[in-house]
Structure 1
Amino acid sequence: MSVTAGKDRRRTLFGLGAGNAMEWFDWNIYATFASFFAAQFFNAQDEVSALLSTLAVFAVGFAARPLGGLVFGWIADRKGRQLSMTLTVAIAAGGSLVIGFSPTYGQIGVWASVILVVARLAQGLAHGGELPSAQTYIAEVAPPARRGLWSSLIYFSGTCGVLAGTLLGAVLSGALSHEQMLSYGWRIPFVLGGVFGIYSLYMRLRMRETGVFLAEAAKDDAAGKKAEKGRIWQTIKQNPKLLVQVVGLTVGATVIYYMWAVAAPSYAITVRGVDPTGALWAGVFANVVFLIALPLWGRLSDRIGRKPVLFIAIVGLLVLSFPLNAMVGDQAWQLFLAMSIALVFMAGFSSIGPAVYAEIFPTRIRTIGVGVPYSIAVASFGGTAPYLQTLLAKNGHPSLFVVYGMVLMVISALVVFTLPETRGVDLREKADTEVESKAVA
């Protein structure tokens, strides 16, 4: 019986989406609430310094993502996609609970900073494994002719998690005073993330493994365990170009995504002086626009191909980079408009990224082959984006960050030229072809 049939398919997609949403909620509420809890973990005498330190920890969390991509990518490609995704949800929820219940800098001094760093490293480890595992899973269970549309579930569900965190921030900042937000309001989303993570864990435990992975595992079992152990690394060494292509595709998109989808409200509050409640609501509505755009781009890619959609998204972001940055003034509506336009084009890249990554890799390394280079690129460029953007703006050079993002997008565009058009490819047939070609070689 196929994993995508009837009730099993609905349960699978809901379990994948719910777990992915909660993982992104846990990960991104850090950036959303950074301006409220920065002084709780670092010296409160200098608010800007405390915020920069908090954003530095945001970047440190990304440092664990390549290791997470390696560990959980190996688990996914050796033991199964479902097991890997279950473990990542559990770790991410635990990290969120630790932050939510952590003592403050005023209570235990520098140990509060240490606890924050350790919790973010754990979440980074989990998030580094979650995204490639989930991307691989959805690509393998999707019908080939609709894989672009189905792959949009990854960022659709993830954005629902980001949106829930931003919406919660808007509600809390409106219902609580500034002093209450600084005192205990910022803890609420972290505690909720941990509690809801338990439900996501339950849903992940009920999911079935993909047929593509089970077929590949059966062939490895027939070949013998000794041969199986070395096949992942052998296949990686035989495909170095694919790893470079993942990095090149990711560097531009990750900076633009974290700039506009995650950190923009916090940046607008701290640097542009936008009212906190208004900025958070602007983020909420802009992400709703992003949600609407995602499946539309995914469906379009199933009709005209992956590469045309990627080029449209990249060119649009390049042309609009400076106008959108200039559009963000000291009003919430300006922030909303700029975010919405940026995220419409960003959706063209995000919606089909999971499909593109999966379609260029053989089954044996489909998770670890994406997870490690992807996490390195995200850690190096996405994790440092909010910090670098804030730092350059505070020093009077905001345009330098815009140029930085544009250069990275040009790199991504050049990589797209090197990709084959993979729309509609059968991943099971691709796996068989890869195995046969390597055997002949």
Structure 2
Amino acid sequence: MNNRLSARPTHRALLGTALGHALEWYDWGIYAIFVPFFSTRFFAPHDEVSAVLSSLAVFAVGFAARPIGGLVVGRLADRVGRKPMMLATVAGMAAGSLIIGLCPTYATLGAGASAILVLARVLQGLATGGELPSAQTYLAEYAPRRRRGLWSSVIYIASVGGNTIGVLLGLLLSALLSESDMASFGWRIPFIVGGVLGAGTLWIRRSLAETAAFTDEREERPRLWQEVLRHRRQAVQVVGMSVGLTVVYYAWVIAAPAYAIDAMHVNADSAMLAGVLSSLLLIGLLPAWGALSDRVGRRPVLLISTLGTAVSLFPLQAMINGSAWRLGVAMAIAMVFIGAGVSILPAAYAEMFPTHIRTVGLAVPYSIAVAAFGGTAPYLQTWMGETAGRAAFTGYVVLLLLVSAMTVLTLPETRGMSLTTTGNDSDDTEGIEREAA
């Protein structure tokens, strides 16, 4: 088989998966970044504080919708296929972004504008609840088994990249537009861009092939809840693995610069630059950790991540001390340990469940963990910092990381395992050859 031809489907699968997940985190980031500019456009403008709080409450609504989306989309992905649901989730995210970007304001529609914003965020929440489990299941099943850890790193490369693009776009628009222009029309630009990116991702994903693991077992579809109960141990393990890494990912990869600006009075431009540079470092580290897990196993790498991060957080927090360059160094060190875990979570999750419930088995507990712990992290970080000091939230994160580490110890080693019950998935190119054919 021509190597160039066989490589094209591989690149398409990686690109299609990555772009959809990048879009999820891009949408997540731009909503949080641009809230100060569009909040009074959707809620009563005479009370600016109330408008911002209302917009943040709508942000939380998106998190609340995720478990429902995970259940519905995950179940359909296990019944009709990974590819159709990957198309549906991208369409939902893109539509929600376009609706927000093009929606009339409160001055035009009154409370109707608020309702449209809520509905758009619910749509995005339902879509994102199904996007990660569908996409990472697809990628894990498509990947050669001996390189599954390396391939799974694409998921978080995409998430960091999507969030970073949103931050850079925010900085660019803030530099080019006045504050009045940002409040008037500038805030619409990133949401419209998100819709366009979603359309491009749909065009790429439409040509993807279904995974061999799903098509080989299409007829084997036992009853859902019977199978969920049979695999309740794995569902609990998903929650345990996710709680620590989800919160530390939010606290150090996403929110550290903003928190340093607000609570530690670090220069805003320098803090944002530290965040972008550390994110680029994380992107470079992810495939290296994924490849290492393919050699030494998932459990050792996950333990390095959870325990290494837990041990280092208090010294790293103390290192920052109001300095932008220290913030950058602390974030860079944190990325080394955080990257080890998040790079291979998609592979580890996929290896925990059989094909017929692989997506929904992950989607429901994962969405619950993200909603309960990731969704509350911004509030808890601010509240604990104000009432008990920064060390209280750091201690909370360390505790959750130890829960994740203990959960990892209960897992069997799954490196290189087959993802089909027949055990006939190839070590190298079966997925590539199937799609090229």
Which has the higher mean CA deviation after the structures are superposed, 53-62 or 81-90?
A: 53-62
Q: What is the alpha-carbon distance in structure 1 between the residues aligned to residue 386 and residue 37 of structure 2?
A: 19
Quick one: which of 254, 257, 268 aligns to 1:262? 254
Partner AA of 1:28 in structure 2: G
CA contact (8 A) 2:22 2:160 kept: yes
Matched, 1:303 2:295: yes
Seen in structure 2, the aligned counterparts of structure 1 residues 277 and 43 have a Cα distance that, compared at 3 Å, is farther
**Within-5 A mapping of 1:406-421:** 406-421=398-413
Q: Does 1:319 align with 2:311?
A: yes
Give how far 1:22 is off: 2.0
- In structure 2, the partner of 1:11 is 12
CA contact (8 A) 1:27 1:127 kept: no
Which residue in 1 is equivalent to 2:60? 59
List gaps (5 residues or longer) in structure 1: 221-227, 433-441
Shift of 1:157: 1.7
- 1:354 has 2:378 as partner: no
Residue equivalent to 1:282:
274
- How many residue pairs end up in the alignment? 422
Change over 3 Å in CA distance of 1:258–1:37 after alignment to 2: farther
The one-letter code sitting in structure 2 at the alignment partner of 1:95 is: G
Pair 285,47 (structure 1): closer, same or farther in 2 beyond 3 Å:
farther
Aligned partner of 2:362 in structure 1 is 370
Does the 8 A contact of 1:55 with 1:386 survive in 2?
no
Deviation at 1:74, TM superposition (A): 0.8
Structure 2 counterpart of 1:95: 96
CA contact (8 A) 1:139 1:150 kept: yes
SS in 2 for 1:206: coil
How far 1:174 moved relative to its partner? 2.4
CA distance in 2, matches of 1:302, 1:111: 52
Partner of 2:429: none
C-alpha distance in 2, partners of 1:153/1:110?
A: 41
Q: CA deviation at 1:122?
A: 1.2
Corresponding residue number in structure 1 for 2:391: 399
1:233 counterpart (217, 225, 233): 225
The alpha carbon displacement at 1:314 in A equals: 0.8
- Aligned in 2, Cα 1:274/1:109: closer, same or farther, shift over 3 Å? farther
User: Residue 190 of structure 2 aligns with which residue?
Assistant: 189
Q: Distance in 2 between matches of 1:98 and 1:127?
A: 16
Q: 3-state DSSP class of the match of 1:427?
A: coil
Aligned to 2:380: 388
Report if aligned partners of 1:166, 1:281 keep a CA contact under 8 Å in 2: no
* TM-score, length basis structure 2: 0.89
Contact between 2:20 and 2:131, CA under 8 Å: does it hold in 1? no
Partner of residue 124, structure 1:
125
Which aligned pairs between 1:36-51 and structure 2 lie closer than 5 A? 36-42=37-43, 51=52
Cα contact 1:174–1:277 (8 A) shared by 2: no
TM-score, normalization by structure 1: 0.88
Shift of 1:343: 2.2
- Alpha-carbon RMSD across the aligned residues, in angstroms, is 2.5
Shift in CA distance, 363/395, structure 1 to aligned 2, threshold 3 Å: same
Give, in angstroms, the shift of residue 216 of structure 1.
0.6
Distance 1:189 1:393 in 2: 31
Equivalent residue letter for 1:67: I
- Which digits, 9 at most, give the CA deviation of each residue in 1:245-289, with x for residues without a partner? 011111111111111222233333433344444333332212101
Assess, with a 3 A threshold, how the Cα gap between structure 1 residues 289 and 126 changes in structure 2: closer, same or farther.
Answer: same
Residues 333, 14 of structure 1: CA spacing in aligned structure 2 closer, same or farther, 3 A cutoff? same
The alpha carbon displacement at 1:209 in A equals 0.2
- 1:307-334: per-residue Cα shift (whole Å, max 9, x none)? 1111111112111222333344545434
Q: Quick one: which amino acid aligns to residue 69 of structure 2?
A: G
Q: Find the aligned partners of 1:123 and 1:408 in 2 and give their Cα distance.
A: 27
Does structure 1 retain, via aligned residues, the 8 Å contact 2:58–2:118? yes
Q: Distance in 2 between matches of 1:327 and 1:114?
A: 44
| Matching residue of 1:435 | none
Conservation of the 8 A alpha-carbon contact between 1:301 and 1:309? yes
Distance in 2 (CA, whole Å) between partners of 1:363 and 1:43 is: 49
**More displaced stretch, 70-79 vs 36-45:** 36-45
| 1:106 Cα offset (Å) | 5.7
Q: Distance in 2 between matches of 1:66 and 1:174?
A: 38
**Cα separation, partners in 2 of 1:43 and 1:277, compared to 1, 3 Å:** farther
Counterparts of residues 61-80 of structure 1 (less than 5 Å):
61-80=62-81
Give the superposition deviation at 1:169. Answer: 1.5
Contact 2:90 2:202 in 1 (8 A): yes
**Does the 8 A contact of 2:354 with 2:421 survive in 1?**
no
Aligned to 1:173: 174
Structure 2 counterpart of 1:407, which letter?
A: L
Contiguous gaps of at least 5 residues in structure 2: 425-437
Cα offset, 1:121, TM superposition: 1.5
Counterpart of 2:294, as a letter, is: D
Most deviating of 167-176 and 157-166: 167-176
**Residue in 1 aligned with 2:35?**
34
